[in-house]
Amino acid sequence: MDIVVRLATHGLIHCDYNQFNILVNERGKPTLIDFPQMVSTSHLNAQSYFDRDVTCIRDYFKRKFGYESELYPTFDDIRVTENVDTEVSASGFTREMEDTLLEEVTGCVESESGEEGEDEEGEEREEGEVCDYATGESEEKGEDENLSGSEKEEDVEKSAEFSKVQRNKSQKSLQLTLVMVPVRVQSQVLTPLLRQLAISMGTERRCPDTLVHEWGSAMLLRCAFSLFHQQSSRVVLVRAMSGAKSYSSSELLINDGKYSWLRNLGLQEQNPGVYDGTWHANGPTVTSFCPSNGKPIAHIQEGSVEDYRQVVQKAHEAWKTWREVPGPKRGEVVRQIGQALRDNLDDLGRLVSLEVGKIYPEGVGEVQEYVDICDYAVGLSRMLGGSIMPSERPGHALMEQWNPLGLVGIITAFNFPVAPFGWNHAIAMVCGNCTLCSLFCVQERRSQHPTVQHSHTLLSLPQVGQKVGVMVQERFGKKILELGGNNAIVVAADADIDMVVRSTLFAAVGTAGQRCTTARRLIVHESVHDKVVERLKKAYSQVKIGDPLEEGTLYGPLHSEAAVEGYDNAISEIKSQNGTIVYGGKRIDRPGHYVEPTLVTGLAHDSPIVQRETFAPILYVVKFTGGIDEAIAWNNEVEQGLTSSIFTASLENVFRWLGPAGSDCGIVNVNIPTSGAEIGGAFGGEKATGGGRESGSDAWKQYMRRSTCTINYSKELPLAQGIKFE
């Protein structure tokens, strides 16, 4: 059996056997499985998820290989102790704690030639001892080891405690090690941990020295384990622990008088995260943090797998009624939703700013987009319909009929938690569908749910979108994918420079560079290049950076520490590729996740870093010397195709840009920024952006199924090709 390493990441739901089977590599190579819930510091919760893990793994090996696989050590052999509590910050994670983790994990993956039961120093463990994987100490096994199999099964059913399991020497066994890693120090712990694992497994190659933070620890694990030799009967389980229960009430911003408005929205210290007509949840508890100061806001209890299944079931039942409601009546319900949002616009806007880090006007603006799309959908509810076409047969009518799809799954991203959901929710509802909403971090697993058969809309990364798209396509479902963009602004020689500078500043710096429509490349004609750069440097220096909720702030934090580390990695790569940082390039020394808006020159248009979307406030200014066709070619050479813009006074340039030889993006602008799309137009992109359209125009058609209907209202039956049956 291959080594299976499972890393719990924020928000992923627990997988059942079928999902586990899909994730396991069938080709006989060491496999990484991204898996499943974060565990709180509560011993009971940790035990509960360990129990689920064991059940899932045992079921998998039984069904795949046809034998019962017992896992050793059991949860009772693993202690959740204070020295690995999530109160430990990244700076407080000691070398001693790191050594403990390394020692215990590498002890589990000794080479096959080693004696089973030996520890790292070669000393045999006594038969009555098991290793405590949090402390490295041993203790005597309890009396419950002598229980029979049936007694053990009964004990597991009756008690939350997972009994110690005696290994069955006559059957193949799997050795399981659980490593509890504080979530805030995953990156710090996993790099040396994996390097040591590689060494202990006999590979001469080293693990990666750097962590690709845009992908997180899972990517590091995937890279590292691709180097490992196949091992037999070893399972290493790495779990991250949530710090949700590590914060006292006084530490939560919801109890700070400055944020009393949170209570106006019905929020509490502990908030259920599942809604299917009532609020409830039975999953792990996670904490929402404010990116502008790093402080915890409140706790949210996520749903369990069963919660999720119930939501899908109830939504499906509701749809059977909702689809029969006349379109204008559905529009009235959506109007009421829009009015409720309008009544709470300011507080909801503040919440977006507090959790995402957007400046207050942007937070309010995002909620306003939801209000606006509700208004749009109300009008649309009276206009949904197909064409009536002349039939070539006498006494016949030819028409199109549009009907609801069913359930529409909406998976939106952290940077725009409200508006894209609104685009899809409001339109899907007036079209007669019911919707299921989830956040980005759960998309891959939940898109596999067999009940959500009709449509998925996803805002994510191209690599994730590819996987989700394939999953949906395998059952011939519909999908709308919006997977980001490496967007460019082209500045022609005749451009209005004042307009260029103001537009570029808004498009590149707004939302701290965390929009899918952010301008990331500025392609400038050589005749105005230096002037544009100097004007931008001056404009960047005047941007007010601060608390997003404070009046006058124009630029807030990045969303998370991982985003800051991704920014740092990009800056290092820029320097290694001989780019020149003409403004910014550093973290800002203040609480929260702040970095300087950054302006870069000196890189070629096809430099690796320029070709890749960097989700941070970094703008690459590249110089073109030829005609407009050269600039268009550079605009089109990246893998995504979301949005683009040109600044020019030439009608020839404008129509070249808009025509078949022009920009290949889904949004093609002239003399305005790449950001700021209106709801009346269809929103979406081409190529690796994913395809499909949301919001206005005829995007509503993607939420419905179309039937072509031929109606014979005569007493004759003319058949095709003039064939007659007497």
d(CA 310, CA 317): 11
Least confident of 226-235, 570-579, 627-636: 226-235
**How does strand 129-131 pair with strand 138-140?**
antiparallel
- 158 plus 79 within the same structural domain: yes
Identify the pLDDT of residue 203: 39
Reported confidence tier of residue 471, pLDDT bands at 50, 70, 90:
confident
Q: What percent of the chain has pLDDT over 70?
A: 62
- 386 plus 527 within the same structural domain: no
Residue 725, in any domain of the structure: no
- 589 plus 628 within the same structural domain: yes
Identify the pLDDT of residue 59: 58
Identify the pLDDT of residue 457: 59
- 129 plus 16 within the same structural domain: yes
Per the DSSP assignment, residues forming a β-bridge with 400 are 708
Identify the pLDDT of residue 173: 37
What's 432's domain CATH number? 3.40.605.10
H/E stretch holding 88: none
- 46 plus 77 within the same structural domain: yes
d(CA 427, CA 429): 5
3-state secondary structure of 412: strand
**498: number of Cβ within 10 Å:** 9
Instruction: Tell which wins on pLDDT, 272 or 446.
Output: 272
Identify the pLDDT of residue 303: 85
Residue 677, in any domain of the structure: yes
Reported confidence tier of residue 133, pLDDT bands at 50, 70, 90:
very low
Listed in sequence order, the DSSP H helices in 109-212 are 149-158, 186-200
Reported confidence tier of residue 501, pLDDT bands at 50, 70, 90:
very high
Q: What is the 3-state secondary structure (H, E, C) of 582-609?
A: EECCCECCCCCCCECCEEEECCCCCCHH
> Nearest 5 degrees, angle CA 554-CA 556-CA 558?
145
Identify the pLDDT of residue 612: 95
Residue 26, in any domain of the structure: yes
Least confident of 212-216, 342-346, 377-381: 212-216
User: How would you label 651-676 residue by residue, b for 16+ Cβ within 10 Å and e otherwise?
Assistant: eebbebbeeeebbbbbbbbeeebbbe
Identify the pLDDT of residue 474: 81
Query: Quick one: CA dihedral 400, 404, 410, 415, positive or negative?
Result: positive
Quote the tokens at residue 158.
């009756």
Mean model confidence pLDDT for the chain: 74
d(CA 415, CA 559): 8
Closest by CA position to 617, among listed 566, 544, 549: 566
H/E stretch holding 208: none
Q: Is the pLDDT of residue 62 over 80?
A: no
Residue 29, in any domain of the structure: yes
- Over residues 67-83, the mean pLDDT reads 38
Q: Is the pLDDT of residue 453 over 70?
A: no
Range of the domain at 617: 487-683
Query: Quick one: CA dihedral 248, 254, 259, 263, positive or negative?
Result: negative
Reported confidence tier of residue 691, pLDDT bands at 50, 70, 90:
confident
- Residue-wise pLDDT for 355-381, tens only, equals 999 999 999 999 999 999 999 999 999
Least confident of 173-182, 224-233, 274-283: 224-233
Angle, helices 360-380 vs 419-430, to 10°: value is 10
Reported confidence tier of residue 479, pLDDT bands at 50, 70, 90:
confident
- Residue-wise pLDDT for 568-578, tens only, equals 999 999 999 99
Q: What percent of the chain has pLDDT over 90?
A: 52
- Residue-wise pLDDT for 14-58, tens only, equals 333 333 333 333 333 333 333 333 333 333 344 454 555 555 555
In terms of C-beta density within 10 A (0-12 exposed, 13-18 middle, 19 or more buried), how is residue 161 classed? middle
Residue 365, in any domain of the structure: yes
- Over residues 605-610, the mean pLDDT reads 98
Identify the pLDDT of residue 463: 64
- 279 plus 160 within the same structural domain: no
* CB hemisphere CA count around 724 (13 angstroms): 2
- Residue-wise pLDDT for 163-204, tens only, equals 333 333 333 333 334 444 444 444 444 445 444 444 444 433
Q: Are 714 and 395 in contact (CB under 8 A)?
A: yes
Residue 721, in any domain of the structure: no
What's 632's domain CATH number? 3.40.309.10
Q: Is the pLDDT of residue 228 over 80?
A: no
Contacts of 111 (CB under 8 A, 6+ apart): 200, 201, 202
Backbone φ and ψ for 466, nearest 5 degrees, come out as: -60, -45
- Over residues 242-246, the mean pLDDT reads 44
Reported confidence tier of residue 469, pLDDT bands at 50, 70, 90:
confident
Q: Is the pLDDT of residue 662 over 50?
A: yes
User: Of 211, 245, 279, which residue sits at a domain end?
Assistant: 245
- 348 plus 467 within the same structural domain: yes
Q: Are 280 and 294 in contact (CB under 8 A)?
A: no
If one counts the domains in the chain, the total is 4
Identify the pLDDT of residue 724: 82
- 92 plus 150 within the same structural domain: yes
Q: Is the pLDDT of residue 257 over 70?
A: yes
Reported confidence tier of residue 394, pLDDT bands at 50, 70, 90:
very high
Helices and strands of the chain, counted as H and E runs: 20, 31
- 469 plus 604 within the same structural domain: no
Residue 724, in any domain of the structure: no
- 57 plus 150 within the same structural domain: yes
Angle, helices 651-658 vs 628-636, to 10°: value is 30
d(CA 581, CA 712): 71
Reported confidence tier of residue 458, pLDDT bands at 50, 70, 90:
low
Positions marked catalytic? 482
DSSP state for residue 668 in the 8-state scheme: E
d(CA 299, CA 698): 40
Residue 327, in any domain of the structure: yes
**Which residue type sits at 302?**
E
- 627 plus 661 within the same structural domain: yes
Between the alpha carbon of residue 461 and those of residues 7, 392, 424, 454, 620, the distances in Å are 20, 48, 18, 22, 21
In terms of C-beta density within 10 A (0-12 exposed, 13-18 middle, 19 or more buried), how is residue 453 classed? middle
Identify the pLDDT of residue 451: 38
Residue 149 CA to chain centroid, in angstroms? 42
Q: Are 479 and 456 in contact (CB under 8 A)?
A: yes
d(CA 537, CA 504): 12
Reported confidence tier of residue 603, pLDDT bands at 50, 70, 90:
very high
Q: Is the pLDDT of residue 149 over 50?
A: no
Closest by CA position to 488, among listed 695, 676, 677, 667: 667
- 223 plus 264 within the same structural domain: no
d(CA 241, CA 182): 5
Q: Is the pLDDT of residue 696 over 60?
A: yes
- Over residues 382-402, the mean pLDDT reads 95
